[in-house]
Amino acid sequence: MPVFWRQSALALVLGALMVSCVSKPVNEADPKEMYEDAEVDIEGNRYLLALDKLRVVRSKFSYSNYGALAQLRIGDVYFLQDSFPEAAVAYEGFYELYPKHAKAPYALFRAGEAHYSDIPTTIARDLKSAENAIQWFGTYLSRYPRGEYSDRARDLRQKAYDKLAEKELDTAKFYLKRKKYPAARTRLEKLLELYPGSSFADQAREMLEGLPE
């Protein structure tokens, strides 16, 4: 047999073996088997397959530990796909359903992290994600001030604060250029009221002091 045809035949056999491995039947009556199979799919970057299996576990075994873990892993899979709004919903759902679960601190932190990751790169866009991130990081820190993720939560919360403060400062500068001093003052005062610990607070104070009456 020519080399080309031998290689083609080998590729077909390997392909068939891979498909059979990926699509092997799973016992949907066994949450442990379904969950572990979903984990294998996640490791293989087969996220859609993993989500399908995790959703089955979540819906059929919601009162079991695997049902809870499936809800959490759905958030992780969405996060891996950069689907941050969907990830946030999954993490928030986990915390609301299982607030006393051992993974509750993780879910709280990841909810904040998902919102933070969804913050637009430009301050010209809607920054609701920054507000949501601050809220969820704040909830985490109020419950677990010395928790595993507390340092990271404080760091990301500060960055979210800075993003919102930067937008207020940028708007104030916009009004200043057009000599709309009352509007600029309102924005600067809002920045100092809402984000006094931001990286832009000192600059806002200087601008406020230099405004004409």
Average pLDDT, the chain: 89
What is the rounded CA–CA span in Å between residue 42 and residue 74? 10
Buried b / exposed e along 164-193 (16+ C-beta atoms within 10 A) = bbbbbbebbeebbeeeeeeebbebbeebbe
- How far apart CA 44 and CA 50 sit, in angstroms, is 10
Mean predicted confidence (pLDDT) in 131-160: 97
Identify the pLDDT of residue 210.
87
pLDDT in tens, 21-61: 444 677 778 899 999 999 999 999 999 999 999 999 999 99
Instruction: Measure the CA–CA gap between 128 and 115, rounded to whole angstroms.
Output: 9
pLDDT per position as a tens digit, 161-189: 999 999 999 999 999 999 999 999 999 99
Cα 32 from chain centroid (whole Å): 26
- Please determine, for residue 11, whether its predicted confidence score (pLDDT) is greater than 80: no
Q: Which two tokens stand for residue 61?
A: 């075994």
Q: Are 107 and 94 in contact (CB under 8 A)?
A: yes
Query: pLDDT above 90 covers what percent of the chain?
Result: 82
Residue 198 identity = S
Nearest in space to 132 (alpha carbons), one of 110, 105, 102, 155: 110
